[in-house]
Amino acid sequence: MTEPTEPGEQDLVRRSAGEVERSPGARPGRPSVRDAIMPAPTQGFGVTFAQIFRTVSTEQYPFEPKVTKPRYHGRHVLNRHPDGLEKCVGCELCAWACPADAIYVEGGDNTEDARFSPGERYGAVYQINYLRCIFCGLCIEACPTRSLTMSNDFELADDNRQDLIYTKEQLMAPLLPGMEAPPHAMRLGDDEKDYYLRAPEVAP
């Protein structure tokens, strides 16, 4: 098809093709006319001057530690019962729920001579790879015994990749006064139901 050469013929072809007619002042390649009164440099400096009088939000970290919210998702913690036994029963539900495949769990069987948790099993091996963890919190939602929770500790940077794979010993909560390091016999009852189904203690 030959291109139209007569004046006005090209506009006629565009109208028949459904194109929108341009206004006479809007020529291609022509810059638009600014309708602002103030010059462009003055408007740009106005934004700069407006920021000078605002409150500075610079944080002096790490000299001033950052205060996180109470529900902040930080480093994981494996909790204990009041007598020191581990709440983790080695069910591996946290590992199945992790979308980043950052948790590795191996369950072990409790015996009368070596008891680490009130149930039949306990977490013999527990590892969290913080190179993969996205701190989504799905693992703590999947935990049926509330063993796994997340603390406010967010300082996890390191220069060695191996050190960012936390083991069970690093994740276990510290022993509080009145707790005994496992393995030991159950102190809160003769059955695991006394641990997980007992009525909450009322503070005096």
139 is in an annotated binding site: yes
136 is in an annotated binding site: yes
64 is in an annotated binding site: no
26 is in an annotated binding site: no
Label residue 195 exposed, middle or buried (CB < 10 Å: 0-12, 13-18, 19+): buried
166 is in an annotated binding site: no
Question: Burial letters for 156-186: b for 16+ Cβ neighbours within 10 Å, e otherwise?
Answer: eeeeeeeebbbebeebbbeeeeebeebbeeb
Instruction: Name which of 192, 129, 139, 137 is nearest 164 in CA terms.
Output: 129
Distance CA 139, CA 159 (A): 26
Number of C-beta neighbours around residue 87 at 10 A: 23
44 is in an annotated binding site: no
Distance CA 128, CA 143 (A): 15
126 is in an annotated binding site: no
DSSP string, 157-189: --S-GGGGEE-HHHHBPPPPTT--PSS---SS-
Q: Which two tokens mark 151?
A: 């603390």
174 is in an annotated binding site: no
Q: Which residues on neighbouring strands pair with residue 128, listed in sequence order?
A: 103, 166
Residue list for the binding site for [4Fe-4S] cluster: 88, 91, 94, 98, 133, 136, 139, 143
Residue list for the binding site: 88, 91, 94, 98, 133, 136, 139, 143
